A and B are shown apart, each in its own frame.
Chain A
C-alpha cells in the first residue's frame, strides 16, 4: 500500500538567489558531514533570445530530507525554510501549498520522501 503524503515544500524559484543558506542550515541541524545533506541547490542557466539568459536556483530536497520532523513536531519550521534568506520556501500541508501554486508562476511543490 502506498505511503500517504501529507506535507511538502513550496519553492518560489523566482526569488531564490542561490545563497545556500538552506543547504548549510540542514547540515548544521543534522550535523551532516560535507557531501551529505537533506537539501541541495541546483543551478540552471537558460539562454534566452537577444543575448540574455535567466538564472534559476532551485533548492531540491534529497533522499536525506525528513522534512525536519523533529522540528515540525515542536511547531518549528524546517531549518531550511526558517533560514532562507529570500523567504522563498514554505512548509505546509500539500493541499494548502497546492492552492498557492495557482497564485503566481515560477513555483514548484516538492513532496520529499520524508
Chain B
C-alpha cells in the first residue's frame, strides 16, 4: 500500500532529520520531528517554524471569463478581489454539501488556487466539468509545485533576510513574487496557524534550495527556526478555529452547519447557493461548536456526545490544545446545544466526560 504514497521533493530531508513519516491523503508526510509535536507547536506560537506542505494541490486559471467562471464554482466573491490579493472560499455541490475549501490568489497574469491534497483530483475534475462556454483555461500544476510555509512571530524577519527585504511590505492576505536564494517564489502573507507568516509556492525542483536558505538564515538560526510536522499543523489550525476538510467541513455538511456562511456571497448565484440560503433561512438542525473538557481525558474524532441521556452529536476534531493547555475539540451537535456555556458529556472509550461549549476561537490569531 505504502508503495503508492507520493513523496514531496523534501521527503529524504525529512527522513534524514528524524521525522516520523506517516501516510496522509495519499502522501508520505512528516507527522513530527525528534523534538515532538508539542514543542513544534509552541515554537510556532513563540518564534517560527517551517513547513513542507507540498502535498497541497494548486490549480491555475487564466482567461477573460475567469471572474464569472470562478464565481459559478466558488462561494466567496471573486469580482472584488484585487490583483495581488487572496481570499478564502468553498466549493459546494447543488445540495450545498461542501466539496472542499480553498484559497484563491488573484495574480497579474493568472488566478492561483490552493486546494486540499485529498481533493486535488476531484476538485480539478469539478473545475473542468464546469468550463461550459467560459473563455478560461484550467490546469492542475500540483505535481510541479512545492509549497512551503514559514509561520510565527519571527517569520517575517526571517523571510526579509532571505528575500532582501521583499516580504515585510506584503500586506496580510496579499501576495507577490520574491527571489529567494535565486529562486522565484510566489509569496503569500497567508497561513494556517493563527500566526503571522507566509506561504511560498515554487517549482518543485527548487524546493531544497529554498528550504535550506530559509533554515540556515541568520535570523532563522537565532529564532531556533525548525521544521514542523502535520501533528502540530493540526493543533495550530485548531486553536484559531480554522476548518480542516474531512473534519469541520465535508460532504456531510453545508457551510451553515460549519459556521462558514461568512465565506458565502449569498447575494449572487453560485453552485449550492440556493440550498445554502434555504438552510440558513430554516436554521440548521446541527451546528459546529468548540468545547473544552471539564473532566480529564482526550476527546478524539468520532467520540459521541450526550446530553440528558440522548446522543446529541459527535466530535470531529479533538486533542490536547497546547497553547490554551486544555483538552478540547470541535463537534457537530444539535443546534440547541451549540451555545456558549452549554454543558454536555463526551463519551471517551465508554466513559462519559463532562464538557462545556466555549467561545470560538480558542486562540485569537496574532495578526488580527
The answer to whether A binds B is: no
Q: Which residues of A contact B (CB under 8 A)?
A: none
